[in-house]
Structure 1
Amino acid sequence: MTLVINKKNDKTHAALLENGKLIEIYFPDDEESVAGSIFVGRIEKFVPALEAAFVTLSNNENGFLRLKDIRPEYLESFGLKKLQEGQKVLVQIKKEGGQTKGPQVTTNISLPGRYVVLMPFSRSIGVSRKIQDSEDRNRLKELGLKLREKYSCGFIIRTAAAEATEQHIYEESELLIAKWSELVKEFKKAKKVKLLYKESDSDEFLLREFLKQGVDEVVTNSPTYKELIRNYSKNIRIRVIDGDAFEELGINEELKRVLNRHIPLPSGGEIVIDKTEAMVVIDVNSGHFTTTSDHEELSEQINAEAAVEIARILRLRNLGGIIIIDFIDMRSEKSRNKIIEIMKKEVLKDRNRVEIYGFTQLGLLEMTRKRTSKSLDERLTTICPVCNGKGTIPSAELVIQQLFNTLQKKPKDVSEVIIKLHPHFKDKITKEEIKKIAKVNVHVHFTHVNPSNFEVTWKK
C-alpha cells in the first residue's frame, strides 16, 4: 500500500492506495466537535421519554447523552451517585451530528494510541478482530490482562500491536495513562464548558491511523514529514514530489468518480448507490457485461466484482448505518455464500465495525457499518439549489404548462412580453407557440439559470 500525504494551504490531507487504487481518504475537520474529542460539558436537561440528557458543549451545540452511556464506573470515579441538571460532566463525542441532529456523546471515554486504546472507565480487554492468528490473539490477550492488572483500566489491543514488542506497548500505555491523568486534573479545575482534547487534526493522529501494517511507501509533497515518518518506521520508502500530490496521482479525479450515483465496474456492469439518513441502498446491474451465456455464472462474476468495489466505496465514502445490497439474482446457495465470503474478507480492511447478516428472503444482502464521523458526501457535496436535494426537477411539459397559465393572466395595456427560459427548453417550445397564448409581441431568451421555473416581464 501507498500512503499519500498532501500539504495544501496549511492543511494536510492523506489517502491510502492499494495497488494504485484509492481505498481511504482523510480530510481535516474545520469544526470543533469531531468524533473522539473530549469536552467539559454541562447537563442542560434530562428527557425521561428519550432516556437521555442534553449536554451543552463549548461550541454551543447540544450533545445527546443516552442514559445507558453514563458508566457506573464514571460516577464511582468522581464520587457521584447520579448526574443532575446543571452539573458539569466529562464527555467524549461518540458520533458526529448531522444536519438535523447534534453530536452523540458518552462518558465511556477512550484514548487511542498506535498499539492500544485506553478505556479508563472499563475493565474489559479486547483484541482487534483483524488479528487472525490464534497465537497472536492469545499472546495479546494475556498482555491486555497484565495491563489491566497494572493500571486498573480496560484496553483494546489494536492491529498494529501484532508487530510491536511488549516494551513498546507498555511504553505507549504509560503515555496514555499520563495523558488521562492530565485530562482528569483539567476537568476537575474547569469552571466552564470547554474542549479538553482533540487530536484528529494532528500529525500524530494521521501517522498513527494511516501508517498501518501493509504500507510500504509514502508519497508526499512536504519534506517535513520525512523525519516524522522515520520515527515510526525505518523501512518505508519515502518519495517527495513537487506540487499537488493528489493531483499528480489522480486522487482528485477518483474522488469525483466515487461520489457519483452510478459507479461502473471494470467488466461493464455497474453499482447504483442511493443514500438516506439512516440507510444506504445499493443496486448491482449487469450493464454491458454479457461474455457468458450462463446466467448463474454471469451473476456470480459480476456480483463478486461488485462486492469488492462496494466494500471499497463504503469505507472510502464513509457510508454507514443499515446497508441493503440488491445483487444480481443468484439461484445457487453456493453462489450466495461465495459473495458473503468475499464481503467478509473485504470488510476486514475497514477500520470501522461492519456486520454482515446474510441474504434476506427477497435475496437482498443485509449488513451494517458503524460510522462516527461525517461521510465523504457530507464533506465534499452540498444540496443542489435547483432540486433542493430531491434529485429531480419538474418535467419540461409541466414548466411549459405553468408558463402558459402565467401568460393567460396577462395584465391590461401591455404590448410585449420578455420571457427567460433555461437552455434546456430550446428544442421543446417555439416562439410561435408562446405568441398564440400571450397574444402580444414575444421576446424569448434561453438564459434563465433554473430549469425548474422561468421569468416573465411584461412591457407596455
Structure 2
Amino acid sequence: MILVINKKDDRPQVALLEDGRLVEIYFPEDEESVAGSIFVGKIEKFVPALEAAFVKLSNDENGFLRLKDIKQEYLEFFGLKKLQEGQKVLVQIKKEGGQTKGPQVTTNIGLPGRYVVLMPFSHSIGVSRKIQDQDDRSRLKELGSRLREKLSCGFIMRTAAAEATEEQIYHEGELLLSKWNELIKEFKKAKKVKLLYKESDSDAFVLREFLKQGVDEVITNSAAYKELIREYSRDIRVKIIEGDVFEELGINKELKKILSRYIPLPSGGEIVIDKTEAMVVIDVNSGHFTTTSDHEELSEQINAEAAKEIARILRLRNLGGIIIIDFIDMRSEKSRNRIIEIMKKEVLKDRNRVEIYGFTQLGLLEMTRKRTTKSLDERLTTTCPVCSGKGTIPSPELVIEQLFNELKKKPKDVSEVIVKLHPHFREIINKEEIKKVAKLNVHVHFTHVNPADFEITWKK
C-alpha cells in the first residue's frame, strides 16, 4: 500500500492507495466539532420524550446527549447523583452532525493512541474485531487486563497493537493517562463552554491512523514527514515530490469519478448509488457484460466484481447507516453465500465497523456501516440550487405550460413582453408560439440560468 500525504496550507490531506487504486481519503475539518473532539459543554435542556439532553458546545451547536450515554462511572468520578440543566459537563463528539442534526455526544470518553484507546470511565478491556488470530486476541486481552490494573482505566486494544511490543503498549498507555489528567484539570478550571481536545489536523493523527500495517511507501510534498515516519518504522520508503501531490498522482481526477451516481465496473457492468440521511441504496446492473450465456454464472461474476467495488466505495466515500444492495438476481444459495463471503473479506479493510446481515426474502443484501464523521459527499459537494437536491427538474413541457398560463394573465395597458428562458428551450419552443398566446409584441431571450422556470417582464 502507498500512503499519500499532501500538505496544503500547512494542513495534511491523506489518501491510501491499494494496488494502485484509491481506497481511503481524508481531508482536514474546517469546523470545530469533529468526531472525537472533547468539549466542556453545558446542559441546556432535558427532553424526556427523546430520552436525551441538549448540550451547548463552544461552536454554538447543540450536542445531542442520549441518557444511555451518561455513564454511571462518569457520575461517580465527579461525585454526582445525576446531571442537571445548567450544569457543565465533559463530553466527546460521538458522531458529527448532518445538515439538519447537531452532533451526537457522549460522556463515555475515549482517548486514542496508535495501539490502544484509553477509556477513563470504563473498566472493560476490548480487542479490535479486525484482529482475527485467536492467540493474538488472548495475548492482548491479558495485556490489557494488566494495563488496567496498573492504570485503573479501561482500554481498547487497536489493530496495530498486534504488531507492538508490550513495552510500547505500556508506554503509550501511560502517555494517554498523563494527557487525560491534564484534560481533567482543564475541565475543572473551566468557567464556560470550550473545546478541550482536538487532534484531527495534526501530523501525529495522520501517521497514527493511516500509517498502518501493509504500508510500504509514503509519497508526500513535505520533507518533515521523513523524520516522523522513522519513529514508526525505518523500513518504509519515503518519496518527496514538489507541488500538489493529489494533482500529480491523479487523485483529484479520481475523486470526481467516485462521487458520481453511476460507478462503472471493469467488466462493463455498473453500480448505481442513491443516498438519504439514514440509508444508502445500491443497485447492480450488468450493463454490456455478456461474456457468458449462463445467467447464474453471469450474475455471480458481475456481483462478485460489484461486491469488491461497493466495499471500496463505502470506505472511500465514508457512506454509512443502513445499506441495501440490490445485486443481480441469483437463484443459487451457494452463489449468494459466495457474495457474502467476498463482502465480509473486503470490509475487514475498513476502519469503521461494518455488519453484514445477509439477503432478505426479496434478494436484497442488508448491511450497516458505522460512520462518525461526514461523508465525502457532504464534504465535497453541495445541494444543487436548481433541483434543491431532488436530482430532477420540471419537464420542458410543464415549464412551457406554466409560461403560457402566465402570459394569458397579461396586465392591462401593456404593449410588449420580454420572456427569458433557459438555452435548452431554443430547440423546443419558437417565438411564434409565444406571440400567439401572448397576443402582443414578444421578445424572447434564451439567457435564463434556471431550466426549471422562466422570467417575464411586461412593458407598456
Give distance in 2, aligned partners of 1:409 and 1:185: 72
Deviation at 1:414, TM superposition (A): 2.8
- Whichever residue aligns with residue 395 of structure 1, its letter is S
Cross-structure match for 1:318: 318
SS in 1 for 2:231: helix
- Whichever residue aligns with residue 143 of structure 1, its letter is L
After alignment, is 231-240 or 393-402 more displaced? 231-240
Cross-structure match for 2:407: 407
**1:292 pairs with 2:292:** yes
Give distance in 2, aligned partners of 1:189 and 1:99: 33
Q: How does 1:35-184 map to 2 (within 5 A)?
A: 35-184=35-184
Give distance in 1, aligned partners of 2:195 and 2:414: 64
| Alignment check: 8 A CA contact 2:69 2:108 kept | yes
SS in 2 for 1:401: helix
After alignment, is 197-206 or 134-143 more displaced? 134-143
Cross-structure match for 2:307: 307
Cross-structure match for 1:248: 248
| Alignment check: 8 A CA contact 2:419 2:444 kept | yes
Deviation at 1:26, TM superposition (A): 0.5
CA displacement 1:52-85 (0-9 Å, x = unmatched): 1111111111111111111111111111111111
- Whichever residue aligns with residue 116 of structure 1, its letter is V
Deviation at 1:267, TM superposition (A): 0.5
Deviation at 1:237, TM superposition (A): 0.6
**1:390 pairs with 2:405:** no
Deviation at 1:9, TM superposition (A): 2.6
Cross-structure match for 1:224: 224
- Whichever residue aligns with residue 37 of structure 1, its letter is S
Q: How does 1:304-453 map to 2 (within 5 A)?
A: 304-453=304-453
SS in 2 for 1:328: coil
- Whichever residue aligns with residue 238 of structure 2, its letter is I
Deviation at 1:411, TM superposition (A): 2.4
SS in 2 for 1:31: coil
Give distance in 1, aligned partners of 2:216 and 2:363: 40
SS in 2 for 1:232: coil
Cross-structure match for 1:194: 194
Deviation at 1:88, TM superposition (A): 1.0
Deviation at 1:417, TM superposition (A): 2.1
Give distance in 2, aligned partners of 1:258 and 1:117: 32
| Alignment check: 8 A CA contact 2:318 2:371 kept | yes
Give distance in 2, aligned partners of 1:335 and 1:156: 37
Give distance in 2, aligned partners of 1:419 and 1:11: 49
Deviation at 1:355, TM superposition (A): 0.3
- Whichever residue aligns with residue 40 of structure 2, its letter is V
Give distance in 2, aligned partners of 1:276 and 1:91: 28
Give distance in 1, aligned partners of 2:399 and 2:10: 47
- Whichever residue aligns with residue 379 of structure 1, its letter is R
CA displacement 1:202-256 (0-9 Å, x = unmatched): 1111110001111100001111221111222111111111111001111101111
Give distance in 1, aligned partners of 2:409 and 2:450: 22
Q: Which runs of 4+ in 1 moved over 3 A?
A: none
| Alignment check: 8 A CA contact 2:3 2:217 kept | yes
Give distance in 2, aligned partners of 1:263 and 1:243: 29
SS in 1 for 2:93: strand
After alignment, is 220-229 or 191-200 more displaced? 220-229
Identical aligned pairs, as a percentage? 85
Pairs aligned (count):
460
Give distance in 1, aligned partners of 2:435 and 2:420: 14
TM-score (norm 2): 0.99
After alignment, is 260-269 or 42-51 more displaced? 42-51
Deviation at 1:352, TM superposition (A): 0.6
**1:13 pairs with 2:13:** yes
Q: CA RMSD in A?
A: 0.9
- Whichever residue aligns with residue 129 of structure 1, its letter is R
- Whichever residue aligns with residue 223 of structure 2, its letter is P
Deviation at 1:442, TM superposition (A): 2.2
**1:268 pairs with 2:274:** no
Q: How does 1:18-33 map to 2 (within 5 A)?
A: 18-33=18-33
Deviation at 1:415, TM superposition (A): 2.8
Stretches of structure 2 that go unaligned for 5 or more consecutive residues are none
TM-score (norm 1): 0.99
SS in 2 for 1:5: strand
Give distance in 2, aligned partners of 1:414 and 1:193: 62
SS in 1 for 2:444: strand
After alignment, is 257-266 or 402-411 more displaced? 402-411
| Alignment check: 8 A CA contact 2:419 2:456 kept | yes
CA displacement 1:168-207 (0-9 Å, x = unmatched): 1111011001001111111111111111101111111111
Give distance in 2, aligned partners of 1:159 and 1:276: 31
Deviation at 1:126, TM superposition (A): 1.1
CA displacement 1:33-55 (0-9 Å, x = unmatched): 11000011111111111111111
Deviation at 1:416, TM superposition (A): 2.4
Deviation at 1:123, TM superposition (A): 1.1
Deviation at 1:138, TM superposition (A): 1.4
SS in 2 for 1:44: strand
Give distance in 2, aligned partners of 1:435 and 1:45: 62
Give distance in 1, aligned partners of 2:92 and 2:417: 61
Deviation at 1:11, TM superposition (A): 2.4
SS in 1 for 2:393: coil
Give distance in 2, aligned partners of 1:331 and 1:108: 46
Stretches of structure 1 that go unaligned for 5 or more consecutive residues are none
| Alignment check: 8 A CA contact 2:151 2:174 kept | no
**1:283 pairs with 2:286:** no
Give distance in 2, aligned partners of 1:47 and 1:408: 53
